[in-house]
Structure 1
Amino acid sequence: MAERRAVTAAELFDAIGAGYEDAFGRPPVVDRALRELRAVLPPQARVLDLGSGTGRPAAEELTAAGHHVTGLDVSPVMVELASANVPGAQFVLTDVRTWSSPPESWDAVCAYFPFLQLPRADTEAVLAKIARWLVPGGHLSLVTVPMDAEDVPVEFLGHPVRITSFTAEALRARVTAAGLEVLGTHSEVFAPGKPGARPEEHLLLTARRPE
């Protein structure tokens, strides 16, 4: 039997839609990430949310806290859902690899699982862009599934995808090489609330652009 073609990130999240929020909407490590980020943000901070998905919980909670959030996503379905869920934020249909922003234009960038379908070189390039986009002292809040994997075929909620990631140590090294200071990491196991979805490790990495 021929191997099924792996779907792109846009195809995947167009197909999953709100079902992603049902299964993965509130991993505890993302709640922790948002608590820590809110604690260090200045009032009315400018926050860029990469891979903003349905807008929940990140854009929704940050907007409710009085911050100005712009979310980027490659999925038209997700952008439509997020715009309806969080009308106080702005959502842009785009690929972060080609999207541009002026230097020092964001107080924080949050990136909760957007890098898992990017080649390693692309992730490294985006991390360098984030370092330029952050104001001095600005924060990066990043959550991923840490592993030594490159273009590995897997099933995700019934869809064939190809996953790439870094170990915790390798990710820390890439973030540092991009010009950011790693403040800390936190890891825990998450059990998705979807039949057939396996428990997985979630890694929170926090970093800042030096003053």
Structure 2
Amino acid sequence: MTSHLDATRESYDTVAEDYATRVGRLFDQEPISRAMLAAFAEQVRGPVADVGCGPGHVTAHLASLGLDVTGVDLSPKMIEVARRRYPDQRFSVGSMTALDLPDGELGGLVAWWSIFHLPPDVLPEVFAEFRRTLAPGGRLLVGFHVGDERLSPETAYGHPVSYDAYLLDPGVVAVLLGDAGFEVTARLTMEGRKWPQACLSARAV
């Protein structure tokens, strides 16, 4: 496992409990974001992966919209929290850089603010992996923070962390998705609490 993945996994193992409490509350206050998830759910046919699922709140929300969804996260502690909070849902430990899924298995994939810690030069590899797992016509929904900056916080959610985080240009992300075999079908930008936010919806071609 490469160093950025090690740092991300170890940091989220550390913050998992406090992260789950805070992020779940924030999600409940984001009707526009949930509307993007609802639109995604209407378009999907087949199983869905929530990649970088964290404590499982988005996985559970997608299931409540009628989707056959599995949550995947790099952090074993996050998966432990997710399984405890949502015992009726499926969760597994895994990396979005190498998903343990057959080619064309999925009808949909969600990466909900989970590409935040990927160095930009890794994004083409990850988007190619997303495309590999999706059937033709499969739907992708990606959410991320907007900007052009590398962040290196020393603490988060009341704990020391060692990860880097990256703000991304939606136009650049759209180009990378196109290069990976996706057609971007919708874009949403929002003002965020710290940084602007973007959601991109795409179809596997």
TM-based fold match above 0.5: yes
Which whole-Å CA distance do the structure 2 matches of 1:87 and 1:122 have between them? 33
Find the partner of 1:171 among 170, 173, 181: 173
Using the size of structure 1 for normalisation, the TM-score is: 0.83
Unpaired runs of at least 5, structure 1:
1-6, 192-198
3-state SS, counterpart of residue 196 of structure 2: strand
Alignment of 1:73-84 (within 5 A): 73-84=73-84
Which whole-Å CA distance do the structure 1 matches of 2:59 and 2:166 have between them? 25
Let me know the Cα RMSD of the aligned residues: 1.9
Deviation at 1:204, TM superposition (A): 0.5
Q: How many residues align?
A: 193
Using the size of structure 2 for normalisation, the TM-score is: 0.85
Which whole-Å CA distance do the structure 1 matches of 2:187 and 2:103 have between them? 26
Query: What is the identity percentage for the equivalent residue pairs of Structure 1 and Structure 2?
Result: 23
3-state SS, counterpart of residue 38 of structure 2: helix
Alignment of 1:1-20 (within 5 A): 8-20=7-19
Unpaired runs of at least 5, structure 2:
1-5
Alignment of 1:1-211 (within 5 A): 8-25=7-24, 26=27, 28=30, 29-42=32-45, 45-56=46-57, 58-150=58-150, 152-155=151-154, 156-158=156-158, 159-160=160-161, 161-191=163-193, 199-210=194-205
Which whole-Å CA distance do the structure 2 matches of 1:98 and 1:209 have between them? 18
The answer to whether the 8 A contact 2:18-2:157 is kept is no
Deviation at 1:97, TM superposition (A): 1.4
Runs of 4+ in 1 over 4 A off after TM superposition: none
The answer to whether the 8 A contact 1:142-1:206 is kept is yes
3-state SS, counterpart of residue 200 of structure 1: coil
Deviation at 1:128, TM superposition (A): 0.7
Aligned to 2:3: none
How far does the alpha carbon of each residue in 1:180-208 deviate from its partner, in whole angstroms, 9 at most, with x for none? 000111111233xxxxxxx2211111001
